[in-house]
Amino acid sequence: MDASAEVDHLAAERSAARFDVEAMKVAWAGSRHAVEVGDRMARLVASDPVFRKDNRTMLSRKDLFKDTLRKAAHAWKRIVELRLTEEEAGMLRLYVDQPGYVDLHWGMFVPAIKGQGTEEQQKKWLPMAYKFQIIGCYAQTELGHGSNVQGLETTATFDPKTDEFVIHSPTLTSSKWWPGGLGKASTHAVVYARLITEGKDYGIHGFIVQLRSLEDHSPLPGITLGDIGGKFGSGAYNSMDNGVLRFDHVRIPRDQMLMRLSQVTREGKYVHSDVPKQLLYGTMVFVRQTIVADASKALSRAVCIAVRYSAIRKQFGSQDGGPETKVLDYKTQQSRLFPLLASAYAFRFVGDWLKWLYMDVTQKLEAKDYSTLQEAHACTAGLKAVTTSATADAIEECRKLCGGHGYLNSSGLPELFAVYVPACTYEGDNIVLLLQVARILMKTLSQLTSGKQPVGTMAYMGNVQYLMQCKCAVNTAEDWLNPVAIQEAFEARALRMAVNCAQNIGQAANQEEGFYERSPDLLEAAVAHIQLVIVTKFISKVQQDIPGPGVKEQLQNLCNVYALYILHKHLGDFLATGCITPKQGALANEQLGKLYAQVRPNAVALVDAFNYTDHYLGSVLGRYDGNVYPALYEEAWKDPLNETVVPEGYHEYLRPLLKQQLKLSRL
C-alpha cells in the first residue's frame, strides 16, 4: 500500500513537521525533474506484477535466478516499448532493485570498451552491446587475486603465426572468480590477463573474449564456466550469477585486445599509443562516484524504515496501563538513529559534489591538465571507503534499532544489509583504498616544504602553520553551531593526525618500512581527512540558496548533527591532537542533544522526503501508512512452513520422539 492507504498512522507525525516536504524532495533528488522522473519510474515498477519482490527471500537459488532473468528481460522490453530515455531507464533499473547481469553489462562491460577500446573497436562492439545482441561482463578478479590487479595470473600470449592471443589459466588460483553475470548469463567478457609477446610479460591488459555460443548459450571450447555458489542473505546477491571461468588455451583474434592505450602489432611488437594513461583514472572516479551515490540510497532506505517504525513502535513508559512511549521519543534511540539520518543526507550531498568533480576531472583530462588528478583520485577513493563502511554499519544499526522484528525478512533490513555489504570490498577494498589516500596525504605533506601548494580537498593542508597551533574558540554549546568553528576543528584534527604520522614515519629506518609500521595510524588519518571532506561539502551545501519553507533550516540542523556526531564519536582524535579541550568536547555533546530534540518532530517528514514507494522499500516496518502490525501478521502466513498445520517431518521425527518410539525408528 502506498500513500493512498485509507488510514495514515503516521499522519500526526507528518503534520508536526516544520518544513515543506515537497521542497525537501527536490533538495534530495537534485531537481524537480529528478523527482518527477523518479516518481514516474518508481510507480511504473511498483504497479507491474512482474517486478514484485515480496516473495524474493522465499525463492530457491534457481528460481531466484530465473526470476532475475525474467525481470531483466521484462525491464528491457518496457524500456524499448516506452522508448525510455537513458535517465529513465537507469531509474527503472534502480527501482527493479534486484542485482543481475544487466548491472555489469551497463556498468562495467560497456564502460570498459568505451574507455579502453579504440574507436574502431567501439564501433564494432558497442552497437551489439547497446541492443543486447551480446551480454557482457567484466572478468578481472581471480580466485587467488583481488585487490592486487598486478598479481593476476591469467595469460594472453600473442601467437604471431596465427595473429591471435592465447588466453590461458595456468593455475587453479588464476581462475576468474566473482565477476557478476559471468556464471550463467554473459556471452562475452572483458578479460584481464598478463599480455605476453615476444617472450616478455607486459602486465595486465583487457581483452574481449566470447564465452558462450550465441546459438545455444553453451560455453565455447576450452572454456569452463560456473557459478561460485551461495552468498550472504536469503535473496540479496543470490540473484546474481557471480562466476568462475577457466581458460584452456583459448584463441581470440589480435584485434580483441582493447587497444586504446597500447597495442600489439601484427608482428608482435608492443607499442604505446599517444593516449595518456591518466584517462583510466577518469573511469575510476566515475565508478566510485556512483558507489557513493548508492551509499546514500541504501542508507536512506534503512533510515526510512527505522524512523517510521520507531514512530509506531511503543515500549515502556506507561503509567498505570496507559499508552507506552514511542521508541522514537527515547534519547537513546535518537542518539543512534538521527546521526544516521544526517549521514544519509551528508552522503547524498557529497555524492552530488562528486558528480561535479567527475565532470571537472574529465574536462581537465581532455585539456591534458593532470594537476588535480591525484587529489581527485584520493578524494573519490576515500569517499568510497568511508561512505560504504559507514553505510554497512548503519544499515545493521537500523536493523537493531527495529528490535526483534528487524530480524525478520519482512522488515527488509536483513536483505538490505546482505545486498549492500559487498560494497565495502568490491571496486577496491576499503582498507586498501584508505591506505592509498594516506599515501597521497603523506606525499602532499612532504611537498609542502618545497612550496608545492595542495589543491581541492587538500588545499587546507597549505594552511599548516595556522592549523598546527590554532585553538578552538568555542565557549558555549551554541558556539558549535558556527560552521567556521566546526570546519576549523575538523581541518586541524585531520592535518595534525597526518603530521603525526609523517613525523613517526620520518623516524623509521626507511620510508616504506615506516609507512608499513604506521599503517593503522595512517588509516585513521585518512578517515579524518575524508570526514572533513564530507563535513565541508555539507556546510557548502547548506550555505547555498535552498528553496522551500524550512528546508534550509532542517538541512543546517542535519549538517550540525553529522559534524558533532563525528566529533563525539572520534573525540579521542580531537583531544589527543589538542584541537579542542575536554570542556569543548562536552559542549559539543550537549549541543548534539539539543539538535536531536529539533530533529525529532521532523524525523518522519525527513525520511518521507526520500520519496520511496513501499515497493522499493520492501519493508513491512517501513510502510508509508505505518500500519505495521496487521501487515507483519499477514506476511507471516505466507511462509512455506505455514502451508501445512502439521509440519512435514512430524511423522518421521516428532511423533516417534513424543511416543517414545525413537529406538524403533530408522532415522
Tell which positions 65-124 bind a copy of itself, by CB under 8 A: 65-66, 69-70, 72-74, 76-77, 80-81
In this complex, which beta carbon is closest to a copy of itself, that of residue 582 or of residue 601? 582
Smallest separation, CB 46 to a copy of itself (Å) = 17
CA distance 404 to 312: 14
666 by Cβ neighbours in 10 Å (0-12 / 13-18 / 19+) ranks as exposed
The span of 20-28, 157-165, 261-269, 325-333 binding a copy of itself (CB under 8 A) equals 325-333
The span of 303-311, 326-334, 448-456, 472-480 binding a copy of itself (CB under 8 A) equals 326-334
CB contact at 8 A, 129 and 113: yes
How many residues appear in the chain? 667
Q: Strand (E) positions, 69-154?
A: 136-139
Residue 369: all three cell numbers together = 591538465
CA distance 357 to 376: 7
Residues 16-55 that bind a copy of itself (CB under 8 A): 50
In this complex, which beta carbon is closest to a copy of itself, that of residue 263 or of residue 531? 531
Binding mask 479-518 for a copy of itself (x = CB under 8 A): -------------------------------------xxx
427 is a catalytic site residue: yes
Return the SS3 of 622.
coil
In this complex, which beta carbon is closest to a copy of itself, that of residue 164 or of residue 521? 521
Residue 392: all three cell numbers together = 554497512
CA distance 227 to 184: 7
CA R_g for the chain = 27
Smallest separation, CB 364 to a copy of itself (Å) = 30
* End-to-end Cα spacing for the chain: 46
What is the phi/psi pair of residue 231, to 5°? -130, 170
Residues 206-235 that bind a copy of itself (CB under 8 A): 214, 216-219, 225-234
CB contact at 8 A, 132 and 72: no
Q: Is 577 annotated as a binding residue?
A: no
What is the phi/psi pair of residue 161, to 5°? -65, -40
In this complex, which beta carbon is closest to a copy of itself, that of residue 114 or of residue 568? 568
The span of 131-139, 356-364, 461-469, 537-545 binding a copy of itself (CB under 8 A) equals 131-139
The binder of a copy of itself chosen from 147, 511, 543, 544 (CB under 8 A): 147
Residues 156-215 that bind a copy of itself (CB under 8 A): 172-173, 175, 178, 183-185, 187, 201, 214
Q: How many CB atoms lie within 10 A of CB 173?
A: 14
Smallest separation, CB 178 to a copy of itself (Å) = 6
Q: Does 653 bind a copy of itself (CB under 8 A)?
A: yes
377 contact partners, CB below 8 Å, separation of at least 6 = 281, 284, 285, 436, 440
Q: Is 57 annotated as a binding residue?
A: no
Residues 627-646 that bind a copy of itself (CB under 8 A): 629-630, 632-633, 635-643, 645-646
Quick one: which of 554, 239, 562 has its CA closest to 387? 562
Smallest separation, CB 261 to a copy of itself (Å) = 22
> Where is the binding site for FAD, in residues?
141, 180
> Where is the binding site, in residues?
141, 180
Which amino acids are annotated catalytic?
A: 427
